[in-house]
Amino acid sequence: MELRDVLIRPVITEKTTILMEDGKYTFRVPLTATKVQVRQAVEKIFNVKVEKVATIRVLGKVKRMGRTQGKRSDYKKAIVTLKAGESIEFFEGV
């Protein structure tokens, strides 16, 4: 897996913007991505030092459309904690 394929997109919500103040950044990653791959991708792409990576598997919700029932896809989130003094400039305008 290429490093650019590991980070699908950043997750920007009220909760994650509060976490950004503590140096924690959240990304959506493939279900097959490991913590080591996420660490390497963030360090290479953003030129920062990663202290810790936590991954969470989020199960898709069951949704109804009239009588039929469907399910959203499962996905994985990675919360990346950077070393003290480090930040990702990509998120600074948020």
53 in a structural domain: yes
**Three-class SS of 2-67:** CHHHHCCEECCCHHHHHHHCCCEEEEEECCCCCHHHHHHHHHHHHCCCEEEEEEEEECCCEEEECC
94 in a structural domain: no
User: Could you list the residue range(s) of the whole structural domain that residue 78 is in?
Assistant: 3-60+74-83
8 A C-beta contact, residue 78 and residue 26: yes
Single-letter amino acid, residue 19: L
Name the token pair of 26.
């959240």
88 in a structural domain: no
Q: What is the CATH number of the domain that holds 29?
A: 3.30.70.330
52 in a structural domain: yes
Domain count for the chain:
1
35, 46, 33, 48: which is closest to 2 by C-alpha?
33
Alpha-carbon distance of 49 to 25, in angstroms, equals 13
- pLDDT per residue rounded down to tens, the chain (94 residues): 788 899 999 999 999 999 999 999 999 999 999 999 999 999 999 999 999 999 999 999 999 999 999 999 999 999 999 999 998 887 666 5
